[in-house]
Amino acid sequence: MYALKFNEKVCATCPSADCLLKCQYMTFEKEEAHEEMMKIVRGEDSRVLHECMTCYACEEYCRRGNHPYYLIGERREERGIYTAPRPITNQWINMTAMQGKYMVGDIKEKAISCCFLPQLAEMATGEIFKDVASSVVFGAEFMCPAVHTHFAKMSVVKERLPVVIENLTKLGIKELICLHDECYGTFTSIAPAYGMEVPFKLTYYMDFLLERMKELKGKIVPLNITVAYQRPCSNRLIPDKHHLVREILDLIGVSMPDRRYQDENSLCCAELFRPIGGYRIADDVQRRNLDDMVATGAEYCLFNCPACQDVLSEKVAKRGLQPVHIIDLCRTAIGEKEREV
Amino acid sequence: MSDILQSLKEIVGEKGVSNNPEELWFYSRDPGVLDPHFPDYVVAPRTTEEVQKIVQLANRENIPIVPMGGGMALTGLVIPLKGGIVLDMKRMNKILEVNEKARYAVVEGGTSQGVLKAYLQDHHPMLRHSLPDAPPATTIAANVSLHGQGRLTQQYGFNSDMVTGLEVVLPTGEVCRIGSPSLGPYWFSKGPTLPDLSGLFLGWLGTTGIITKLGFKLYPNKKYRDVELLVTDRVELVPDILYKLTHLEMLEDINVWFQPKPLLFAGNFHCTIYFTGDTEEEIDFKRRMVWDSVQGYLDSKDAGFMNIQYMKDMLMEMPQRGIAAFADVPKGGGFEYSGPITIIEHFPRYAAKVIELAEKYDILYASSARLISGGHSMMFSISFAFNRNDKAMMTRVKHALDEATAFSLEMGGIPWKPNYMEQKMTMEKMDPVTLKLLQMVKKNLDPQGIMNPGNWEVN
Ligand SMILES: Cc1cc2nc3c(=O)[nH]c(=O)nc-3n(C[C@H](O)[C@H](O)[C@H](O)COP(=O)(O)OP(=O)(O)OC[C@H]3O[C@@H](n4cnc5c(N)ncnc54)[C@H](O)[C@@H]3O)c2cc1C
Ligand code: SF4
Ligand code: SF4
């Protein structure tokens, strides 16, 4: 069984315990944050194990190479602590079980992964994806199991991720373009944290998108619109990729005004807060997030994760913002898609 | 016999009657597991007078007569067990009146649920009726004849409780009005303050008369409707969860279901909770009340609300087609359920029985219960899907359903729309004086026993 590689000494000497200090859902005094983290490190009970909302953000806040969020998950599971109700947790495990109901396209060395999100297969078409669109995998057999970290079911992650890696390897894939941050984050953050090897190259779809948009520059008609960006939880696993959003937007003439809940201070879609922390916190986070988006005067709410988009589309639309995924926005910029109004 | 055919033609016209074998074939069976039996004639009247004449003829000639709506009761209730005439009511499908302010409708005895739903949407958008999840072609009169339940049953009781008046052709051929229409032009009360005679027909499965008109209550149609899905893996908590939810007194409908397939649903018990409102604020308020009512179970992590984004359209459908889709899981499109009416505290024991029966007979189950009257009782459906092409599987389903009925009787439940064998089991268990009373009613109303014979054969 794989085990989390966590450097306890690094925490012991940590000057700030930013992981918990910056947490948006729990407040700590400076010393207290460090103390609580050390309790977790030592395997003792901590209020964090009962109050953490699983927003993934401490993976970004820790700048010292440790994985506080994964450790919290491990400790919760060791103690039998459920984040969400047990039937919901098990439902997710069942729903994402490998049942042989996957889709594999005409696989070439370079392939795209749609994870468990069929919407992604619809999006990844047209000029931008013309060389890779048919080389696609979708389904539980290829799905990154990171979602189970929300439920502190790290054992499911450890059990399924090697199988997913093996399934992809068996297809002869040499380079996998991950269309979902969660997949890229799983392969590049969770897998190494647990000592799992990924024997193929991983490409984050925004890197791919940026390159393709540069190649298609001649076709771009600047969109001249303003967006508020909904950063997904799983982007916290790959914070070094966050800058790509702005670079892509610059290329297609889209402005993204500063707002309070942006970058490190982003609020996630909060839908999983509903089973974990109840409707009050979920509604509150969504309301604050949307108020903030509206205050920027943005016309569009820009999504990166289709799950966030599903959850928030209706809500942002009611507040006057048009929901749009960044891939669709790029396709609009090269005249492939009608502009959403 | 040919004299009878001729007489029937004289009553309903050439096109309204048939004894062609290929047509009788369809009228000899239903989608359930009971063996078919052929009628001698099928007749489709258009008016009460025609029904009356057909019944007079049947009475004179001592021929069985089986009223039929959509034929979808599933328990063989319209299979002409003793031959005779199947009276297909579907041509009597007029909506006669909607009294907007008194909130009732009057329709003919073959009017379908779908036709009324569409009519209300077009002409009375502020009103709705208690639509069952049965296919839209099923009829309202049949539904009250078997004490059906619909979307508003959780709030207002069985659909038969919502009846506000009847016009019935008695087995002798006389036409009788029940309730306020027996005194005047209004159809607002089936009984009170008179002695309630509607009980002579409601629940009798067409064995005491033919409903040619009925009035029934309509209810406010709210602008918004929404749903939450609560799941728990601890069946013993279900009764208390339901108790807490019904305490709110603000929910439209509550269905509790469990099924092993697809895997997403395995191991959990699901409560689908519907609520309505005229504003988004009202909906949000009700949603919060629903969550708060079960907060203890959320805190203990024993129950939780599921994200239903991907299922919402299916859950919101009226009627819900997903129920019919279940029939085709083993391929071959067969589906039947035993649906005892029971008390909510027995839910865990019924649930265990369904799983036990499915394992014992190696068949696929799905169970869905609907709350009645704010939780005073529930209809607990023990549903099995089967392949019609697989006789052995159908036999296993039949045995499982018989056992389910025996179990529900043992548990003090009441079988719902029982087939003729289940009716017998029920009568055997019944208090003898109650049975005697039923005999007196049946004997007096239908002395020759021509109405849907084989069913409620109390004599
Ligand atoms: C997928 C599916 C879902 C269902 N869901 C529900 C549900 O949610 N709620 C529910 O209540 N039922 C449900 N049912 C069961 C059944 O379909 C309904 O009860 C339906 O209302 C029966 O109507 P019908 O017209 O098909 O009746 P039929 O099968 O035609 O008749 C039923 C009984 O009524 C008698 N009858 C018919 N017309 C008259 C009349 N005019 N006068 C006197 N007696 C008459 C018949 O002789 C028979 O005994 C469901 C069935 C299916 C297949
Ligand atoms: S996890 Fe990182 S930020 Fe937190 S205490 Fe350890 S080293 Fe410091
Ligand atoms: S995952 Fe989010 S909520 Fe949990 S401790 Fe880390 S930052 Fe806080």
Amino acid at B246: T
Contacts of residue B303 in chain A, CB cutoff 8 Å? 85, 87
What residue's CA is closest to ligand 1, atom 49?
Answer: B205
- The answer to whether residue A88 neighbours chain B at the CB level (below 8 Å) is yes
Q: Could you tell me which chain B residue has the CA closest to the CA of A318?
A: B280
The number of beta carbons lying within 10 Å of the beta carbon of residue B255 is: 23
What is the per-residue pLDDT for A340?
A: 66
Query: Count of A–B CB contacts within 8 Å?
Result: 58
A86 contacts B233? CB cut-off 8 A: yes
Q: Is A50 on the interface with B (CB under 8 A)?
A: no
Is B291 in contact with A278 (Cβ distance < 8 A)?
Answer: yes
Question: What pLDDT score was predicted for residue B322?
Answer: 77
- Identify residue A104 by its one-letter amino acid code: V
Tell me, using a 6 A CB cutoff, whether residue A53 lines ligand 3: yes
CA distance B258 to A22: 43
CA atoms within 13 A on the CB side of B323: 20
Give the closest residue to B287 by CA, choosing from B273, B299, B300, B304.
Answer: B273
* Cβ neighbour number for residue B347 with a 10 Å cutoff: 23
Nearest CA to ligand 3 atom 4: A52
The answer to whether B201 and B211 have CB atoms below 8 angstroms apart is: yes
B303 touches chain A (CB under 8 A): yes
Instruction: Indicate the class that CATH gives domain B95-220.
Output: alpha beta
Question: Which ligand has the nearest atom to the CA of A63?
Answer: 2
Q: Is B231 part of the contact surface with chain A (CB cutoff 8 Å)?
A: yes
Ligand 3 centroid, distance to A42 Cα (angstroms)? 18
For A274, which residue in chain B has the nearest alpha carbon? Answer: B305
Contact B189, B162 (CB under 8 A): no
Q: What is the dihedral of CA B323, B325, B327, B331, to 10 degrees?
A: -170
In this complex, the residue of B264, B303, B304 whose CB is nearest that of residue A95 is B264
Could you tell me which of B148, B440, B448, B458 has the C-alpha nearest to residue B319? B148
B420-429 and B391-410 helices, crossing angle to 10°? 20
> Is the separation of the CB atoms in B93 and B110 below 8 Å?
yes
Average pLDDT of the residues in A317-338: 96
CB neighbours (10 Å) of residue A113? 27
Contact present, B369 and B257 (Cβ < 8 Å): yes
CB contact under 8 A, A94 and B264: yes
Model confidence at A338, pLDDT cuts 50, 70, 90, reads confident
Q: Is the CB of A48 under 6 A from ligand 2?
A: no
What pLDDT score does B329 carry? 73
Tell me whether residues A99 and B263 touch, CB distance under 8 A.
yes
Interface check for A118 against chain B (CB to CB < 8 A): the answer is: no
Chain B residues in contact with A84 (beta carbon < 8 A): 301, 304
CA distance B426 to B419: 10
Interstrand relation of B269-277 and B224-232 (parallel, antiparallel or unpaired): antiparallel
Q: Alpha helices, DSSP H only, in A252-305?
A: 273-277, 279-295
Compute, in angstroms, the gap from residue A24 CA to the centroid of ligand 3. Answer: 7
∠ Cα B277 B281 B283 (to 5°): 40
Find out whether the beta carbon of A14 lies less than 6 Å from any atom of ligand 2. Answer: yes
Pocket lining: A69 vs ligand 3, CB cutoff 6 Å: yes
How many CB atoms within 10 Å of residue A193?
Answer: 21
The percent of residues in chain A predicted with pLDDT above 70, rounded, is: 99
Rounded distance from Cα A215 to ligand 1 centre (Å): 64
Ligand 3 centroid, distance to A72 Cα (angstroms) = 9
**Partner-chain residue, chosen from B267, B298, B307, that has the shortest CB–CB distance to A90:** B267
Write down all domains in chain A, each with its CATH number in brackets: 8-79 (no CATH), 95-204 (3.40.50), 216-333 (3.40.50.1860)
Question: Mutation test of ligand 3: which of A11, A23, A62 has the most ligand atoms closer than 8 Å to its C-beta?
Answer: A23
**B249 vs B419: CA distance, rounded Å:** 34
The length of chain B in residues reads: 459
What Rg, from alpha-carbon coordinates, does chain A have?
20
Q: What is the pLDDT of residue A1?
A: 77
Quick one: fold of B224-415?
Vanillyl-alcohol Oxidase; Chain A, domain 3 (3.40.462)
Q: Among the residues of B362-390, which ranges form H helices?
A: none
What is the value of pTM for the model shown? 0.94
Judge if the beta carbon of residue A11 lies within 6 A of ligand 2: yes
Q: Are A278 and B298 inside 8 Å of each other by CB?
A: yes
Domain boundaries, chain B: 2-88, 95-220, 224-415
The ligand placed nearest to the CA atom of residue A23 is 3
CA of B9 to the centre of ligand 1 (A): 27
SS3 readout for B415-434: CCCCCHHHHHHHHHHCCHHH
Measure CB to CB from residue A88 to each of B231, B266, B291 and give the nearest one.
B231
Question: What is the A45 CA–ligand 2 centroid distance (Å)?
Answer: 17
Of the candidates B443, B451, B437, the one whose C-alpha atom is nearest the C-alpha of residue B173 is B451
Dmax (CA) of chain A? 59
Q: Are B231 and B135 in contact (CB under 8 A)?
A: no
A40-98 confidence digits (pLDDT tens): 999 999 999 999 999 999 999 999 999 999 999 999 999 999 999 999 999 999 999 99
Question: Which chain B residues have a beta carbon less than 8 Å from that of A271?
Answer: 307
The neighbouring-strand residues paired with B360 are none
Q: State the pLDDT at residue B32.
A: 85
pLDDT by residue, tens only, chain B of 459 residues: 469 999 999 999 999 999 999 999 999 999 888 999 999 999 999 999 999 999 999 999 999 999 999 999 989 999 999 999 999 999 999 999 999 999 999 999 999 999 999 999 999 999 999 999 999 999 999 999 999 999 999 999 999 999 999 999 999 999 999 999 999 999 999 998 999 999 999 999 999 999 999 999 999 999 999 999 999 999 999 999 999 999 999 999 999 999 998 999 999 999 999 999 999 999 999 999 999 999 999 999 999 999 998 899 999 999 988 777 776 777 777 788 888 999 999 999 999 999 999 999 999 998 999 999 999 999 999 989 888 889 999 999 999 999 999 999 999 999 999 999 999 999 999 999 999 999 999 999 999 999 999 999 987
Interatomic CA distance for residues B354 and A190, integer angstroms: 43
Instruction: Name residue, tokens 């990154």.
Output: A144
Q: How far is the CA of A25 from the centre of ligand 3 (A)?
A: 7
Pick from B438, B433, B430, B432: which is nearest to B459 by CA?
Answer: B438
Tokens found for residue B140:
């309202």
Place of tokens 């700590």: A28
Neighbours of A257 (CB within 10 A): 13
- The residue among A337 and A257 whose pLDDT is bigger is A257
* Minimal-distance CA residue to ligand 1 atom 50: B134
pLDDT digit string, tens, across residues A183-232 = 999 999 999 999 999 999 999 999 999 999 999 999 999 999 999 999 99
Q: What is the rounded CA–CA span in Å between residue A282 and residue A275?
A: 9
Residue to mutate among B305, B308, B313, with most A CBs inside 10 A, is B305
CA–CA gap between residue B131 and residue A91 (Å, rounded) = 31
What is the C-alpha to C-alpha distance for residues A196 and A21, in angstroms, rounded to an integer?
30
Q: pLDDT digit string (tens) for A239-285?
A: 999 999 999 999 999 999 999 999 999 999 999 999 999 999 999 99
Is the CB of residue B212 less than 8 Å from the CB of residue B108? yes
What span, in angstroms and rounded, lies between the C-alpha atoms of B416 and B435? 17
Cβ atoms of A274 and B305 closer than 8 Å: yes
Q: How far is B292 from chain A (nearest CA, A)?
A: 9
Partners of residue A95 in chain B, C-beta under 8 Å: 263-264
C-alpha B135 – ligand 1 centre gap (Å):
9
**Contact between chains at A274 and B264 (C-beta distance less than 8 A):** no
DSSP-assigned letters across all residues of B331-347: SSEEEEEE--EE-GGGH
Which sign, positive or negative, has the C-alpha torsion B259, B260, B263, B269? positive
Is B15 at the interface with chain A, CB within 8 A?
no
Whether ipTM tops 0.90, in short, is yes
The SS3 of residue A213 is: helix
pLDDT at B201: 98
Contact flag A86-B287 (C-beta cutoff 8 Å): no
| Fold classified for B2-88 | 3.30.43
- Beta-carbon contacts of B228 under 8 Å, excluding residues fewer than 6 positions away, are B272, B273, B275, B287, B290, B291, B305, B308
Q: Is the CB of A165 under 6 A from ligand 2?
A: no
Largest pairwise CA distance in chain B = 74
